[in-house]
Structure 1
Amino acid sequence: MASDVLMPAPVCLIENDKGELIVNQKSLEILSSITEPVVVVAIVGLYRTGKSYLMNKLAGKKSGFSLGSTVQSHTKGIWMWCVPHPKKPNHILVLLDTEGLGDVEKGDNKNDTWIFALAVLLSSTFVYNSMGTINQQAMDQVNYVTELSERIKSKSTPNTDGVENSSDFVTFFPDFVWTVRDFTLELEINGEPITSDEYLEIALKPKKGKPEEVKMFNLPRQCIRQFFPKKKCFIFDLPTHRKKLSQLEKLHDSELEPEFVEQVESFCFYIFQHSNVKTLQGGIKVNGPRLENLILTYVEAITSGEMPCMENAVLALAQIENSAAVQRALTHYEVIMIKRVQFPTETLRELLDIHATCESEAIAVFIKDSFKDVDQKFQKELAVLWLLLFMGKEGSTRQLEAKRDAFCQQNQDESTKQCRSLLQDIFSPLEEAVKNGDFSKPGGYGLFLQKTKELKQKYYQQPRKGIQAEETLQEYLKSKEDIADAILQADQSLSAKERDIEVERVKTQAAEAAAKQLEEMQKKTQQMMEQNERSYKEHINQLTEKMETERKQLIEEQKNNLALKLQEQEKLLKGGFQNESEQLKNQIKALENRLNESRKRGGGCIIC
């Protein structure tokens, strides 16, 4: 496994302890180490219907998830098995086997719906496993789906368009696969053969009649049709003689009915080929840590008595992801700056050019890893976060700018340190000559100036002194002004007038040097301001481009959701279900309005 996670057997993900759901820390540690995208397949159904057998097959093992051999339910809570995806390199297949629904031993089945809901919320493919046929009894047993809209919220606030919550579920919900075990009927209608998918479509057709009379019949069918974007059906013959069913996990394929073996292979092939990476709205692919955070958010909401909200879960994940993205970007900036900058640089421009390249890479890291949520609600907040942490606007934390300034200061300090050391080496002979009185004689001052000029020239010729070269030299010369003045005043070969002229020359020279330093400081300040402006414009463009890409992704999702609703409406109209078709009109109209709003959002900078 690419994440180096080895799971020889499943572990409990969510414990069901006397009706209380508790997340297992060991399973979270496993998820936190999985950096690859995850394909999450969850299976639910009544207890003792053979769910675990199918999950073991998907894991490529004969055993793992507990099958049990009696009428007693074995799986409690939700168990997880992470294995390398057999068909998608660098992907992880996360299998979730759930506690059997309707276990008579539990007495109180109130948390069955929560197990069902969590399986829906966490998976990218949701498998419902039942026995016999898809008849009214089977529909009655899948009544948990009818409670989803009462147990789960898609959005934190009601829609302004008045459309019921279920209209948004198609965006969040997984693909739906109904597996029918021990199927004994012939797949045909009016003597004509049909596929298992057609069998499911027929089973999901509503019944005509007065709403109050057909409500209980139509409600589960309506929920399955409207909630789940894609639906698939698999039927399985009886695997072997009933006396051998208790030993199913020990039997070789050669001991099973050939049709059953072929059907299981077909099921596994479909799951491997067509189950998608768990993806949040906006095309956000889920990896182990993201799945971990979703689990914690949902279970916390359930245990606190609140309704799990899919939008809030994404928002919470966005906060975590964006903060982490900031830190990764800052770390990336520091690491590559340290590698690329050879202190001290000759000019500030040289350092700022390296900074600009590293900054762009760091922003690219942030842009790539940053996260937005449903309907772009978080985009403004993301933009503000980005500005505060990166752009150095007034009153912000200015993390990236602060790190740049720290490198500039280090560059300056390294230059000063190196120049002082160099000046000490070059001018130490001159200082020694002064101590020895070599210039305390007629003509000594001229000799002192000549020697100083030669040593200054030698200093200028030395490479890699950095941006403090001139300032450090002037600082050194200023510290020696008293010595130079003393030599000047002691030189008897000079007249008083010549000494006065020389004093004025030295003052003028010092003033010119100070003016030059001031000009250089102003130049550095201007370069920093120009760099800030370039960074601001470039990064605004990067962020705006990201937001535009995400807007286009949202539009595609909304178009797909609208297409699914239109297909559903068309099926109802063809079947003569005019009333049911009318019920979809408001949802379709609302989706069209949202699509138009998303299309209008394009253009201009998103940071206002």
Structure 2
Amino acid sequence: MACGRLMSAPVCLIENDEKGQLRVRKEAKDILDGINEPVVVVSVVGLYRTGKSYLMNRLAGQQSGFALGSTIESKTKGIWMWCVPHPYKEGHTLVLLDTEGLGDVRKGDEKHDTWIFCLAVLLSSSLVYNSLGVIDNTALEKLHYVTELTENIRVKAEVSQDEDKSADFMCVFPSFVWAVRDFTLELKIGNEPITSDEYLESALTLKSGCSPQTEQYNLPRRCLRHFFAVRKCFVLPRPASPQNMRRMEELTEKDLDSEFLEQANTFCHYIFDSADPKTVSGGRVITGTALGNLAEVYVEAIRSGKIPCLENAVVSLAKIQNVRAVEEALQLYMIEMLSMAQLPMRPEELSDIHKIAEKKAVEVFISMSFNDNDQIYQQELMAKIYDEYQQMCQQNQEESIKQCKAVLREVFDTLEKGVFDGSYLRSGGYRQYRDMLRHLTNDYRARTHSQIMVQFTHACFALDQ
């Protein structure tokens, strides 16, 4: 993970503060700030106590990490994050997000669950929905959060009343993977075997008619079909016996059901191979740094009572990213200049160093900038670099004058003393004075030949006289 640090365990990315409002944890934000390569973000959502965390641990290549629970209590609170090197895509980081279990009756806060679901959709490039049993009407009714997305997420800042939102959502929403756990049925329709994907699509078939009951039946199915262009399904049997299920973190692969293990490995390979890097509107791939900023933008919108808007988020993200890009590029320029420029020096040498440092700074800016299509921030950077260079040129001139004057006093000290004590006020004294002046002038010029103020030799000499 470029410029980041490896994580030995997950950390909380989004939590509730003391007032019960969502906030981004600084520790997690700092980790994302250090990841300057593209991120593939995989979120898992689902009802609490359905084994979501175990799947994410397998994606991380670990037996434990995300908290597992063997009781009816929900373990995961908020959204937890684990960043690991992507096993398939070199130069990419896999960001795993394990979300708080939905529908926990102990919380009694349906709106909180809705925002957790929405944040998972907004932040991920692949969304895994984890459920138990079968995909039936009851399972789809429990996925009612997807029907509320149009009320809680906006793609565009301004949308007309009759505009179809689903097309906009399909362009920016993540791929959708339904993982059905503890599946015991045969994959058949009639007597014909079907794939797990066909099983999902069959469950999403709409009923004809327009009665309220039919509309209620069709709504979650229509939303899944219209919002998520890419849909995939995996059915996994129970991983172990009920007794062993209570100690899943201790089980080795040989303790797991072979069919479960095969399906779990297929699931992981699919995610690794198919989940794309996270993008925002316009298809722009984002880094870990941008992901952290994006999380803060969305959470701040929720905290302020607004509906998260992807278009506005991209504008805010661009400002945050570009301001930082200017700051870091300028800082690099200054570091390069201070490390290479030993003042005083010739103007042409300083100019050459400036060009090298400027080129490196622009490269850093381009690598970090985001949607600076009109080059407004790049022009701001160039103006700041120009100002810094002019200041350094001024400093170079001042240092040169200072050094030249010091050499001037040192070289002509003997001549000055001779003038004041009258050593040259005798016969032949003028010739001696002239010869000494010529000798000392040549010595001064030789000692200051590399300084930019050589041309001021006579002026400085006249001032000192």
Shorter-chain TM range is: 0.7 to 0.9
| 1:427 corresponding residue in structure 2 | 412
Show the counterpart of 1:509. none
Instruction: Tell me the residue number matched to 2:377.
Output: 385
For residues 73 and 353 of structure 2, the distance between their equivalents in structure 1, rounded to whole angstroms, comes to 68
* Corresponding position: 1:67 with 2:59: no
Deviation at 1:461, TM superposition (A): 3.4
Matched, 1:466 2:451: yes
Tell me which amino acid in the other structure corresponds to 1:100: G
Shift of 1:404: 0.4
Q: Paired residue for 2:43?
A: 42
Single out whichever of 204-213 and 193-202 deviates more from structure 2: 204-213
Once the two structures are superposed, what CA deviation does each residue of 1:468-508 show, in whole Å capped at 9, x if it has no partner?
A: 1121432312543xxxxxxxxxxxxxxxxxxxxxxxxxxxx
AA at the equivalent of 1:167 = A
Match of 1:306 in 2: 306
Offset of 1:205 from its aligned partner? 3.5
Higher RCO, 1 vs 2 (CA within 8 Å, ≥6 residues apart): 2
> Which deviates more from structure 2 when the two are superposed, residues 206-215 or residues 423-432?
206-215
- Partner of 2:355, secondary structure, is helix
Judged with a 3 Å threshold, the aligned counterparts in structure 2 of structure 1 residues 305 and 463 are, in CA distance, closer, same or farther, namely same
Query: Does structure 2 retain, via aligned residues, the 8 Å contact 1:329–1:366?
Result: yes
Shift of 1:280: 2.8
* Deviations 1:417-450 (CA, angstroms, capped at 9, x unpaired): 2222222233233223323424324665455444
Q: 2:134: which partner in 1?
A: 133
More displaced stretch, 7-16 vs 47-56: 7-16
Deviations 1:396-431 (A, max 9, x none): xxx222210121012112221222222223323322
Match of residue 349 from structure 1: 348
Q: Deviations over 1:147-171 (max 9, x none)?
A: 1111011222336x96334332234
- Change beyond 3 A, Cα 1:105–1:414: closer
Q: Which amino acid aligns with 1:57?
A: R
* 2:144 is aligned with 1:146: no
Change (3 A) 1:389 1:245: closer
Report the 3-state secondary structure (helix = DSSP H, G, I; strand = E; otherwise coil) of the residue aligned with 2:106. Answer: helix
- Superposed CA RMSD: 3.0
Map residues 257-268 of structure 1 onto 2, 5 A cutoff: 257-268=257-268
1:531 aligns with none
Match of 1:367 in 2: 366
Larger radius of gyration: 1
Q: Is the counterpart of residue 156 in structure 1 residue 157 in structure 2?
A: yes
Separation in structure 2 between the aligned mates of residue 201 and residue 464 of structure 1, nearest angstrom: 83
Q: Secondary structure at the match of 2:83?
A: strand
Count of aligned pairs between the two proteins = 464
Counterpart of 2:9, as a letter, is P
Q: Deviations over 1:519-573 (max 9, x none)?
A: xxxxxxxxxxxxxxxxxxxxxxxxxxxxxxxxxxxxxxxxxxxxxxxxxxxxxxx
Map of 2:221 onto structure 1? 221
Say yes or no: does 1:440 pair with 2:415: no
Which AA in structure 2 matches 1:93?
L
Relative to the length of structure 2, the TM-score reads 0.88
Aligned-residue offset at 1:453: 3.4
Which residue is 1:51 aligned to? 52
Paired residue type of 2:460? E
CA displacement at 1:263 relative to structure 2: 0.4
SS in structure 2 of the partner of residue 238 of structure 1: coil
1:67-86 correspondence runs (5 A): 67-86=68-87
Matched, 1:254 2:278: no
1:418 aligns with 2:403: yes
Which residue is 2:335 aligned to? Answer: 335
For residue 178 of structure 1, report the CA deviation from its aligned partner. Answer: 0.9
Shift of the 108–313 alpha-carbon distance from structure 1 to 2, 3 Å rule, reads same
SS of equivalent residue, structure 1 residue 111: helix
Task: Report if the CA contact (8 A) 2:325-2:368 is conserved.
Answer: yes
Normalising by structure 1, we get a TM-score of 0.69
**Contact 1:46 1:129 (8 Å CA) reproduced:** yes
Residues 11 and 28 in structure 2, CA contact (< 8 A), matched pair in contact too: no
Cα 1:145/1:430, change in 2 over 3 Å: same
- Provide Cα deviations, 1:78-134, integer angstroms capped at 9, x if missing partner: 233334444445544332222222223334423221111111112221101122222
Aligned-residue offset at 1:315: 2.3
Summarize the Cα distance change of 1:48–1:343 in structure 2 as closer, same or farther, 3 Å threshold. Answer: closer
Q: Is the 8 A contact 1:10 1:64 kept in 2?
A: no
CA shift at 1:10, angstroms? 5.0
Matches within 5 A, 1:107-186: 107-158=108-159, 163-186=163-186
Give CA deviations for 1:310-331 in whole Å, capped at 9, x if unaligned.
2222222222221211111111
State whether structure 2 residue 236 is matched by structure 1 residue 236.
yes
Unaligned runs of 5+ in 1: 373-377, 392-398, 481-608
Cα distance, 1:237 vs structure 2: 1.9
Q: Against the structure 1 CA distance between its residues 345 and 73, is the aligned structure 2 distance closer, same or farther, given a 3 Å change threshold?
A: closer
* CA distance in structure 1 between the partners assigned to 2:456 and 2:355 by the alignment: 26
Q: In structure 2, what is the equivalent of residue 587 of structure 1?
A: none
Structure 2 CA distance for aligned equivalents of residues 314 and 224 of structure 1: 25
- Distance in 1, matches of 2:343 and 2:109, equals 71
Distance of 1:72 and 1:479 partners within structure 2: 87
Give how far 1:369 is off: 1.4
The CA distance in 2 between the partners of 1:108 and 1:342, in whole Å, is 63
Structure 2 vs 1, CA of residues 475 and 207 (structure 1 numbering), >3 Å: closer, same or farther? same
Query: Contact between 1:16 and 1:76, CA under 8 Å: does it hold in 2?
Result: no
User: 1:97 matched to which residue of 2?
Assistant: 98
Asked if structure 2 preserves the Cα contact closer than 8 Å seen for 1:16 and 1:77, the reply is no
For residue 138 of structure 1, report the CA deviation from its aligned partner: 2.1
CA deviation after TM superposition for structure 1 residue 139, in Å:
2.0
Structure 1 pair 166/16, CA: closer, same or farther in 2 (3 Å)?
Answer: farther
Are residue 207 (structure 1) and residue 199 (structure 2) matched? no
Q: Residue 453 and residue 25 in structure 1: after superposition, are their counterparts in 2 closer, same or farther (change >3 A)?
A: closer
2:188 paired with 1:194: no
State whether residues 14 and 22 of structure 2, in contact with CA within 8 Å, keep that contact through their aligned partners in structure 1: no
Structure 1 segment 7-18 matched on structure 2, within 5 A: 7-8=8-9, 11=12, 13-15=14-16
Partner Cα separation in structure 2 for residue 405 and residue 16 of structure 1: 48
Q: Distance in 2 between matches of 1:35 and 1:439?
A: 73
Q: 1:270 corresponds to which residue?
A: 270
Structure 2 CA distance for partners of 1:365 and 1:74, relative to 1, 3 Å? closer
Change over 3 Å in CA distance of 1:18–1:219 after alignment to 2: farther
**C-alpha displacement at 1:282, in angstroms?**
4.8
Which range moved further: 422-431 or 177-186?
A: 422-431
Q: Which residue number in structure 2 is paired with residue 405 of structure 1? A: 390
Deviation for aligned residue 1:34: 4.4
Tell me, in whole angstroms, the C-alpha distance in 2 between the residues paired with 1:250 and 1:60.
Answer: 15
Who is 1:452 aligned against?
437
Report deviation, 1:60.
2.7
Whose helix fraction is larger, Structure 1's or Structure 2's?
1
